[in-house]
Structure 1
Amino acid sequence: MGTVVSLKKKTDRESGIDRIVGLVSEDMQRVNELILSKTGSEVTLIPEVAAHLIESGGKRLRPMLTLAAAGMFGYRGEGHIRLAASVEFMHTATLLHDDVVDESDMRRGKASARMVWGNEASVLVGDFLLGQAFKMMVEVGSLPALEVLADAAAVIAEGEVMQLVTTQNTATTEDEYLAVIRAKTAALFAAAGEVGAIVADRDAEERAALRSYGANLGNAFQLVDDALDYSGVQATLGKKVGDDFRDGKITLPVLLAYRRGNEEERTFWRRSLNDRAVEEGDLERAIELMASHRALEDTIGRARHYGAMARDALEIFPGSEYRQALTEVIDFCVSREF
């Protein structure tokens, strides 16, 4: 059996997301109510599929970033509620589409929507949610916010296509991998932070700072997620350990182990990932190789680097409970087990 690397970092619970959850709880309740109202449709399959994922226990971290960013500036209007709901709908639509592309059986510990209703329903309901997201953006009446979120939607789609190219391709470079996660994951984190500043009518420097914070947070989040696929446990991940390996996904732990390995080890990676000729015991072998080449530890090290950049991006803002909450989100993302 391979060595399972523990990525847990013991921190005080207050260093997690408790603070941001508490600060935005009232606004988040309004976001949740808006989300439920916007999934309504006379086509009964739409609310069924949407509710399956929306109510499955996600932390709603991205919309919380929008609410906290707006709160940091003392914003008291209504626009941040619709923008936060738009961000969550974009994220949910992406998950529905991802599960079809990846042929995933599980999502957040339960059967994925595609397994219950099929690929066609998952894709079309995802499209419905994107449409609802853009309707809410228009209702806010902020062209800059609409532009930022529309750009993010286009970049996310580009990231999906880029990932199709890199899947099952061990020749992928680290730069190419990072380009995928910047598009697929970090772009929405960046937009979520920036629109919180936009709706509060802040200047270009503050918008850029929150965009940088979100982008670097998103990079860190995805790097940890990729490491957890080879080190976590199913109960906390909401998926089977090794799903990325079975799907032939080329993530940073794989790239590091592949590059640092000898020719016999690279042959193993090409057979199991490029050729998808996975045999009994291959996952354990993959984990062993990652351990011997410090692939998981170094992936987490890179995540911490991005976390440090996210922390630095917040330095231009005066000290406040909101800024502290946003800082603690970084610690949560880098040290999380789930």
Structure 2
Amino acid sequence: MGVVVNLDEGKKGSASIRNLIELTAADMGAVNELILSKAGSDVAMIPEVANHLISSGGKRLRPMLTLAAAQMFGYQGDHHVKLATSVEFMHTATLLHDDVVDESDLRRGKSTARMIWGNQASVLVGDFLLGQAFRMMVDVGSLEALDILSTAASVIAEGEVLQLAVAKNLETTEDEHFNVIKAKTAALFAAAAEVGPVIANRSKTEKAALRSYGMNLGLAFQLVDDALDYGGSAKDLGKNVGDDFREGKVTLPVILAYRRGSPEERVFWKDAIEEGNADDAKLEHAIALMAKHNAIGDTIARARHFGDIACDALAPLDATPQKDALLEVIDFCISRVV
């Protein structure tokens, strides 16, 4: 299996992750081989379900962060490959679980695993992948890396529950929403970046720099996804445009448009989000209200803010090709809505 990434995904702007892909290409080849090996099982349904999502065109951005972060500190060995594979398995498991919780029909332009094999199979194969991820972490033998990634797994689960707690609640505050995406998305970005300097035995300051980079990159990444759901395309998203709206998800564009809206507009939002009356006509009206109140623009502005923090986190570190590539990732993520 080759590196699965669309080099044109940043075409709306000039940013790309080509340098990151090139720098990590050899290691990603090893990651992909390990993915195929560790996704195997004598239980036929497990590799069928796992490979359906693993081979469906994801960018593999998170494992590439692990590889590049290890490389930039001169790591020699193969532990970064196992940790990068663990990161990808953790991510894949959360996608399988998310699709069940969200009752999603489409993922990366394909039918979700739950639509083909059912909810039970999706959940259980996700659990299998998490188990394999932790076995590889143990193989690495770094208690610190194990602590970082296992903590991230716990935080991600907390984020899922927190999202359920605030689902369809239009009184959700911006801070509450940031708590959700920090747990659900940014925590794994942070862990993926931090374990690089950990296995390279670098200083506490350098580990903290990569963790801050990953955390803020993850926040920016998710906010851009929030914006794309109302201003992107199915190709950009890997899911149907407006899925968040139809599922009643209270993302930042909704929060801003609702809080800035008139009483009549708030009635619309309550009907669409809280009551679940979200058809295509209402989606068009929602997008119009977001444009009226600059909800998309301000969501992107907040993404840029977190991108700037991620950039500043790496600023004190020595110049390397990997550092430059990690900085380009920030521009790439945000350029998806430029």
- The interval holding the TM-score normalised by the smaller chain is over 0.9
- Structure 2 residue aligned with 1:4: none
Aligned CA distance change for structure 1 residues 47 and 279 (closer, same or farther; 3 Å) = closer
- Structure 2 residue aligned with 1:284: 284
Pairs within 5 Å for 1:1-338: 10-12=12-14, 15-279=15-279, 281-336=281-336
Query: Structure 2, unaligned stretches of length 5 or more?
Result: 1-9
**Partner Cα separation in structure 1 for residue 235 and residue 56 of structure 2:** 14
TM-score by length of 1: 0.96
**Partner Cα separation in structure 2 for residue 278 and residue 186 of structure 1:** 28
Cα distance per residue 1:217-249 (max 9 Å; x no partner)? 000000000000000111332211100000000
Quote how far apart the aligned CAs of 1:261 are.
0.2
Quote how far apart the aligned CAs of 1:275 are.
1.1
**Partner Cα separation in structure 1 for residue 278 and residue 92 of structure 2:** 31
Query: Structure 1, unaligned stretches of length 5 or more?
Result: 1-7
Quote how far apart the aligned CAs of 1:74 are.
1.0
Contact preservation (8 Å) 2:246, 2:279: no
Cα distance per residue 1:49-74 (max 9 Å; x no partner)? 00000000101000000000000011
Q: Secondary structure at the match of 1:298?
A: helix
Q: Number of aligned residue pairs: give it.
A: 329
**Partner Cα separation in structure 2 for residue 21 and residue 9 of structure 1:** 16
TM-score by length of 2: 0.96
**Partner Cα separation in structure 1 for residue 191 and residue 131 of structure 2:** 17
Contact preservation (8 Å) 2:35, 2:85: yes
Quote how far apart the aligned CAs of 1:280 are.
5.3
Q: Percent identity?
A: 66
Q: What is the root-mean-square deviation in Å for CA atoms of aligned residues? A: 1.2
**Partner Cα separation in structure 1 for residue 29 and residue 178 of structure 2:** 34
**Partner Cα separation in structure 2 for residue 232 and residue 223 of structure 1:** 13
Aligned CA distance change for structure 1 residues 217 and 280 (closer, same or farther; 3 Å) = closer
Contact preservation (8 Å) 1:237, 1:337: no
**Partner Cα separation in structure 1 for residue 82 and residue 319 of structure 2:** 27
Quote how far apart the aligned CAs of 1:317 are.
0.8
**Partner Cα separation in structure 1 for residue 252 and residue 245 of structure 2:** 12
Cα distance per residue 1:85-142 (max 9 Å; x no partner)? 0000000000000000000000000000000000000000000000000000000000
**Partner Cα separation in structure 1 for residue 309 and residue 11 of structure 2:** 19
**Partner Cα separation in structure 2 for residue 313 and residue 286 of structure 1:** 36
Contact preservation (8 Å) 1:144, 1:198: yes
Contact preservation (8 Å) 2:12, 2:336: no
Cα distance per residue 1:252-296 (max 9 Å; x no partner)? 000000000010000100111011123551000100000000000
**Partner Cα separation in structure 1 for residue 11 and residue 128 of structure 2:** 39
Moved beyond 2 Å, runs of 4+? 8-12, 277-280
